[in-house]
């Protein structure tokens, strides 16, 4: 057997994504390069690792066994690398974080300087919706999660970071200058929603229900970016987190509609399961956030106070 660590890494990613195309994207390789690595690995086994049915790739039972072994081997290699760096006095290991989708506008700034200080840390970051973030917490798959709404389950501890403000927004062509609206405005507006399971959707629905607002839902879209483009195109209005529309507000593509009772407020927090045992990278990151969060928020997000 002459398989390489790179071949194992590529094959493991193929089994995780069930796709050569997706594996190539996540590994930042070309599709032909991934196919070559898979073929070279397959040539060392008499039993098929994968099979193609129609256009869909399937992992054989034997391939699944090899993937399990490959993951163990790669984890051992990571451990060796981390131990080597640890003997040099560096904080090493994996730091796993999940973040709700709108958190992508925040989490890079929380991590940038920390990772520069500790170059031996390997970051695993998953940006997804609120429901999946809660699932990663429940399964203890991550060290921390960035959320704008605290989950009911599991029980978590938190480090508050900054205020989350949500406003009713329209495209830049709507004439609202000098006007102020009460909540009855929602009777006439075609509203664009985030998908079920998102934190923005949860906050929006909680506000609407608590004020018994008569809302007309026109569209439901699966990302903050999709909602922004739909509003800019004039397809409707939406309640959106301020953190994700800075550029569009400055460029005049979007505008805030002044409505009584707004903005809706929640809080961005870093959370983790109660009584969680931290790895060295995780405890170092939490210490860093506690010391540096006020500086980061002021430097990177001070503009929020203008709204």
163-179: per-residue pLDDT in tens? Answer: 999 999 999 888 887 77
Residue 275 and residue 248 share a domain: no
- Write the DSSP string, 25-41: HHHT--HHHHHHHHHHH
Residue 253 and residue 178 share a domain: yes
Tell me how many degrees the CA angle 103-107-111 measures, rounded to the nearest 5: 170
> Which pLDDT band, with edges at 50, 70 and 90, does 80 fall under?
confident
Q: Of 33, 62, 87, which one is at a domain's C-terminal end?
A: 87
* Residues in contact with 147: Cβ distance below 8 Å, sequence separation at least 6, in sequence order: 99, 100, 103, 130, 133, 199, 268, 269, 271
Q: Report whether the peptide linkage leading into residue 282 is cis, meaning its omega lies within 30 degrees of zero.
A: no
Structural contact between residues 260 and 180, judged by C-beta atoms closer than 8 angstroms: yes
Residue 280 and residue 145 share a domain: yes
33-48: per-residue pLDDT in tens? Answer: 999 999 999 999 989 9
- Write the DSSP string, 146-176: EESS--SSS-EEEEEEEEEEEEEEEETTS--
**Token pair for 208:** 């609407």
Cα 208 to Cα 76: distance, rounded to the nearest angstrom: 51
Cα 224 to Cα 204: distance, rounded to the nearest angstrom: 13
Residue 83 and residue 107 share a domain: no
Q: Of 46, 62, 87, which one is at a domain's C-terminal end?
A: 87
Residue 101 and residue 155 share a domain: yes
> Which pLDDT band, with edges at 50, 70 and 90, does 65 fall under?
very high
Q: Of 68, 87, 106, which one is at a domain's C-terminal end?
A: 87
Residue 241 and residue 176 share a domain: yes
* Residues in contact with 196: Cβ distance below 8 Å, sequence separation at least 6, in sequence order: 131, 220
89-136: per-residue pLDDT in tens? Answer: 567 788 999 999 899 999 999 999 999 988 888 899 999 888 889 998
Residue 176 and residue 149 share a domain: no
- Write the DSSP string, 247-268: HHHHHTSEEE--BTT-SEEEEE
Q: What's the CA dihedral at 187, 258, 300, 111 to 10 degrees?
A: -10
Report pLDDT for 119.
84
**CATH for 76:** 1.10.10.10
Phi, psi angles (nearest 5°) of residue 131: -60, -40
3-state secondary structure of 74: helix
**CATH for 201:** 3.40.190.10
Report pLDDT for 82.
62
Q: What predicted TM-score, i.e. pTM, was given to this entire model?
A: 0.69
Q: Which residues make beta-bridge pairs with 237?
A: 191
Query: Per-residue pLDDT for 76 more than 90?
Result: no
Residue 287 and residue 272 share a domain: yes
Residue 213 and residue 76 share a domain: no
Residue 168 lies in domain: 163-266
Residue 216, CA distances (Å) to 131, 179, 185, 191, 210 in order:
24, 22, 11, 6, 16
Angle between helix 20-27 and 5-17 (nearest 10): 120
Domain count, the chain: 3
| DSSP 3-state percent helix, strand, coil across the chain (nearest 5) | 50, 25, 30
Cα 115 to Cα 23: distance, rounded to the nearest angstrom: 25
Report pLDDT for 90.
64
């Amino acid at each position: 057997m002459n398989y390489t660590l790179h071949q194992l890494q590529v094959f493991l990613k193929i089994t995780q994504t069930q796709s050569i195309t997706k594996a190539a994207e996540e590994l930042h390789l070309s599709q032909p390069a991934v196919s070559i690595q898979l073929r070279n690995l397959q040539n060392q086994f008499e039993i098929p690792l994968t099979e193609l049915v129609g256009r869909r790739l399937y992992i054989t039972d034997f391939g699944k066994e090899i993937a399990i072994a490959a993951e163990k081997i790669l984890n051992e290699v990571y451990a060796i690398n981390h131990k080597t760096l640890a003997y040099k006095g560096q904080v090493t290991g994996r730091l796993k974080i999940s973040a709700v989708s709108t958190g992508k506008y925040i989490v890079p700034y929380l991590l940038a300087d920390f990772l520069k200080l500790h170059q031996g840390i390997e970051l695993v970051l998953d940006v997804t919706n609120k429901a999946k973030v809660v699932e990663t917490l429940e399964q203890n798959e991550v060290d921390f999660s960035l959320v704008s709404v605290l989950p009911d389950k599991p029980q978590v501890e938190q480090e508050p970071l900054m205020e989350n403000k949500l406003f009713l927004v329209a495209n830049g062509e709507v004439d609202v200058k000098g006007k102020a609206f009460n909540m009855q405005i929602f009777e006439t507006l075609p509203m664009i929603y985030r998908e079920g399971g998102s934190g923005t959707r949860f906050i929006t629905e909680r506000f609407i229900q608590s004020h018994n607002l008569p809302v007309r839902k026109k569209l439901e879209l699966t990302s903050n970016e999709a909602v922004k483009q739909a509003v800019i195109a004039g397809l409707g209005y939406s309640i959106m987190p301020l953190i994700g529309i800075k550029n569009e507000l400055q460029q005049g593509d979007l505008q805030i509609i002044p409505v009584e009772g707004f903005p809706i407020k929640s809080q961005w927090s870093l959370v983790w399961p109660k009584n969680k045992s931290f790895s060295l990278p995780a405890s170092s990151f939490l210490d860093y956030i506690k010391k540096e969060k006020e500086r980061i928020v002021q430097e990177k997000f001070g503009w929020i106070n203008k709204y």
